[in-house]
Amino acid sequence: MFNLKEFAKRSFFVHSAYKFLVRLNEIPLNKWSEVHQIITILRVLPNTMLPLPRLFNAYDCVKILNSESIKGDIVECGVWSGGCVGLMALAEKRTGNGQRLSHLFDSFEGLPQPTIKDNEHYDRFSKDPTRLNIREKVLEGELTAIKACVGATKNHVENFLVQHLKLNPENLKFHIGWFQNTVPQAKH
Ligand SMILES: C[S@@+](CC[C@H](N)C(=O)[O-])C[C@H]1O[C@@H](n2cnc3c(N)ncnc32)[C@H](O)[C@@H]1O
């Protein structure tokens, strides 16, 4: 007998496998020899919205910091579900001494209302009556979340980084809130 639930489950699997294969096609040709890097990126893929070439780039940036002995921490403004920052921290573990700190900045509530400088995004959101309180000027006025681009909660992100990726929690510094408040605070 035709089992609708089983069919849906299988087609979900086929669809996911198809989507996965399509993404593999994004791997830059010169990267196919870097198997470890590919595997590391695949581990973080469900937790990032970035395309594969950008993830390779993020990994390579950390690799260069280490090969050229450049000091400093890793900072990501907008970590969403933690995939990209997790990748950079894994790259640090693999290509450096694993001591570099990672600073994770995010509201953990998604985007704030856009400003006029956000051009077409401003136009789009300002026409939506459910997303009121548009700011006229950058860095002025109270920010409120507009329920767009919301990633995982802070606890989920931390769990993903520590339990799943096995990163040292002492190297992860969360800065929760709007960038305009948290970035100046973190400077001190
Ligand atoms: C496009 S997503 C980032 C994608 C992420 N880097 C990844 O690996 O997929 C943007 C993130 O920035 C955060 N964000 C955007 N504007 C912000 C602001 N002004 N203050 C704090 N967080 C903000 C959102 O909550 C969201 O998680």
The pTM (predicted TM-score) of the whole model is 0.86
Taking the centre of ligand 1 as the mean of its atom positions, its distance from the CA of residue 106, in whole angstroms, is 6
**C-alpha–C-alpha distance, residues 132 and 14, integer Å:** 41
- The pick from 76, 90, 107 for probing ligand 1's pocket by mutation, whose C-beta has the most ligand atoms within 8 angstroms, reads 107
Reported as type and span, the H/E element at residue 94 is helix 83-95
**Which pLDDT score is estimated for 95?**
97
- Give the Å distance between the CA of 179 and the centre of ligand 1: 9
Tell me the residue type at 183: V
Give the distance (Å) from ligand 1 centre to CA of residue 109. Answer: 9
pLDDT, position 121 = 76
Nearest-angstrom CA–CA distance, 186 and 64? 25
Q: How far is CA 17 from CA 24, 41, 64, 94, 127, in A?
A: 11, 17, 33, 28, 38
103: three-class secondary structure by DSSP = strand
* Distance, CA of 59 to CA of 62 (rounded, Å): 5
- The pLDDT assigned to 1 comes to 67
pLDDT at position 128 is: 64
Beta strands 74-77 and 172-176: pairing type?
A: unpaired
| Beta-bridge partner residues of 166 | none
According to the model, what pLDDT value does residue 155 have? 98
Contact 101, 74 (CB under 8 A): yes
pLDDT at 157: 98
Distance 77 CA to ligand 1 centre (A): 7
Spatial neighbors of 135 by CB under 8 A, at least 6 apart, are 112, 113, 114, 115, 141, 143
Of the candidates 101, 83, 59, the residue with the CA atom closest to the CA atom of residue 152: 83
pLDDT one digit per residue (tens) for the chain, 188 residues: 667 777 777 787 888 788 778 878 888 889 888 999 999 999 999 999 999 999 999 999 999 999 999 999 999 999 999 999 999 999 999 999 999 999 999 999 998 887 777 778 777 776 665 555 555 544 556 788 888 899 999 999 999 999 999 999 999 999 999 999 999 999 87
Instruction: Report pLDDT for 12.
Output: 78
Tell me the best of 61, 77, 135, 156 to mutate to test the pocket of ligand 1, counting ligand atoms within 8 Å of each CB and taking the most.
Answer: 77
Domain boundaries, the chain: 33-110+149-188, 113-142
pLDDT at res. 134? 53
Class of CATH domain 33-110+149-188: alpha beta
